[in-house]
């Protein structure tokens, strides 16, 4: 246990844009209960929401940038509670991290990465926070508290070990830790006790072992990451889980006990032709995921992610808070697939949208700041061309993304509004071949050690 260290003092200012932006005549899904405002106006001042309500009752400041968004729908930005955002490099990043742009372009304004390289992910988080980089808000566990052998094993054999591991992780900037593959229940309970003392959330993963998942709920974990490997569920599980405060991030996009949900969309859609996605993702990454697609009889999905999603709905109806987690399978667009898959199990559009916004915000401990549209909250919101309450797939019509009060046109990811700024080129737009190559991307988000879906997918 290390008790002494050297403070490395580096202080930077938090980025905050100046000026007002007004969106008028919108439909606004506030995510405050089931509230939907028609013909409404929202005013952003600097990085916060200053006013929201009926257009007839809100006066727009004279100096505001005004966008009349008649016919469009505004909702909070998507909170991806299980987002692997390409933070497994050894500390160095490109200045324009494409994963972050892809997420913003698809409306993901907060990413919680529950398994990442601590140096990389907290570096990214701070660079975004200070305005040096453009991206969603980033929260993370940093390195997982991994119980199995490996180069980053966290040895926890008593409460002091657990306190030491969590103190260290908290000092990096983590607000949550990932407890994973600590084989004995008492070890997992030591993590819980230390986390409680230090005020840190614990997001564990059961690694497809059902009884481990159940003890995680009994022991008061913040939630369960990845689906439990049993479906359907009956009254015993529903009663246990709904009487706890543990949330659920089922990541249907990868799936224990059946086909990974993402294959459904690779099969259905020609993802490699998606022009918007190609603007923000190196082509070889999309090609290698989507062109050689898996084809299975449709009942494989019915008995796979859809069956799991039905259990998620059952738990959700009983009061278990469900979160959207897209697992870094396909940056940006993957979050929409996850949202649609939540709906596919029977959830209402509104409940699925809550899972994508306010539930995730509360899960990561940020519910007072983000996740719904309310005066005083941070200005993270998206403007959609189509209404997702009519058709859930309309979530994929993000026209503008506003992150921390900065307004981006998702066609270009240029900042527009009060402090207009063009996006520079991505590194692959800058070389003589005008493309990226696999060796540019050291480690892809889908080969994450310490996420058992690593094993699932190979």
Please, which residues bridge with residue 152 across strands?
none
Least distance in Å: CB of 163 to Zn ion?
25
Residue closer to Zn ion, measured from CB, 127 or 451 = 451
Question: Shortest distance, CB of residue 147 to Zn ion, whole angstroms?
Answer: 15
- Separation of alpha carbons 39 and 53, rounded Å: 9
CA nearest 314: which of 251, 256, 242, 221? 242
Give the separation between CA 205 and CA 223, rounded to whole angstroms: 9
C-beta closer to Zn ion: residue 308 or 413: 308
Residue 179 CB, nearest approach to Zn ion (Å): 13
Q: Between β-strands 20-29 and 65-68, what pairing exists: parallel, antiparallel or unpaired?
A: parallel
Question: If you ran DSSP here, which 8-state letter would residue 378 be given?
Answer: B
Nearer to Zn ion, 327 or 336 (CB): 327
What is the smallest separation between the CB atom of 178 and Zn ion, expressed in angstroms?
Answer: 8
* Residue 335 vs 453, nearer CB to Zn ion: 453
First to last CA, the chain: 37
Q: Min. distance of Cβ 375 from Zn ion in angstroms?
A: 35
Nearer to Zn ion, 115 or 260 (CB): 115
Residue nearest to Zn ion according to CB distances in the complex? 451
Asked if 136 contacts 162 with a C-beta cutoff of 8 angstroms, the reply is no
How many residues appear in the chain? 458
Check if the beta carbon of residue 341 is closer than 8 Å to that of residue 229: no
For Zn ion, give the closer residue by CB, 382 or 448. Answer: 448
CA distance 205 to 227: 9
Which positions lie near Zn ion, rule CB under 5 A? Answer: 115, 451, 453
Return d(Cα 405, Cα 403) in angstroms, integer.
Answer: 5
Please give the structure tokens belonging to residue 165.
């591991």
- Closest distance between Zn ion and the C-beta of residue 451, in Å? 3
């Amino acid at each position: 246990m290390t008790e002494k260290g050297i403070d490395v003092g580096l202080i930077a200012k938090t980025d905050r844009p100046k000026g007002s932006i007004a969106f008028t005549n919108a439909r606004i899904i506030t995510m405050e209960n089931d509230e939907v405002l028609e013909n409404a106006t929202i005013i952003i001042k600097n990085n916060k929401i200053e006013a929201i309500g009926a257009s007839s009752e809100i006066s727009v400041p004279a100096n505001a940038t005004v966008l009349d968004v008649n016919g469009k729908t505004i909702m909070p930005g998507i909170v991806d509670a299980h987002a692997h955002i390409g933070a497994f490099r050894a500390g160095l990043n490109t200045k324009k991290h494409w994963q972050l742009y892809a997420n913003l372009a698809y409306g993901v304004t907060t990413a919680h990465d529950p398994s990442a390289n601590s140096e990389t992910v907290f570096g990214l988080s701070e660079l975004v926070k200070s305005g040096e980089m453009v991206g969603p808000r980033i929260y993370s566990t940093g390195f997982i508290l991994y119980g199995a052998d490996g180069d980053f094993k966290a040895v926890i054999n008593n409460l002091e070990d657990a306190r030491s591991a969590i103190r260290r992780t908290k000092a990096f900037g983590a607000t949550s830790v990932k407890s994973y593959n600590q084989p004995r229940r008492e070890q997992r309970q030591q993590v819980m006790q230390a986390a409680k003392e230090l005020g840190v959330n614990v997001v564990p993963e059961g690694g497809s072992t059902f009884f481990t998942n159940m003890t995680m709920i009994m022991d008061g974990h913040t939630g369960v990451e990845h689906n439990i490997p049993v479906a359907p569920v009956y009254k015993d599980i529903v009663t246990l889980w709904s009487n706890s405060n543990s949330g659920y991030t089922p990541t249907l996009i990868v799936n224990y006990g059946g086909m990974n949900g993402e294959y459904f969309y690779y099969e259905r859609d020609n993802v490699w032709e998606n022009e918007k996605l190609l603007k923000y993702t190196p082509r070889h990454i999309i090609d290698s995921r989507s062109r050689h697609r898996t084809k299975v009889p449709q009942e494989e999905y019915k008995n796979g992610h859809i069956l799991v999603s039905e259990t998620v709905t059952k738990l959700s109806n009983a009061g278990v808070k469900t979160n959207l987690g897209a697992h870094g399978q396909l940056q940006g667009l993957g979050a929409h697939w996850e949202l649609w898959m939540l709906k596919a199990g029977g959830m209402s559009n509104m409940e699925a949208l809550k899972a994508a916004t306010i539930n995730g915000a509360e899960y990561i401990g940020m519910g007072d700041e983000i996740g719904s549209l309310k005066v005083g909250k941070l200005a993270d919101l998206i403007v959609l061309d189509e209404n997702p309450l009519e058709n859930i797939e309309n979530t994929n019509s993000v026209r503008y993304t506003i992150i921390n009060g900065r307004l981006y046109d998702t066609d270009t990811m240029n900042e527009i509004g009060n402090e207009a700024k063009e996006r520079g080129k991505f590194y692959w737009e800058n070389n003589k071949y005008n493309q990226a190559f696999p060796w540019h991307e050291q480690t892809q988000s889908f080969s994450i050690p310490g996420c058992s879906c690593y094993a699932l997918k190979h």
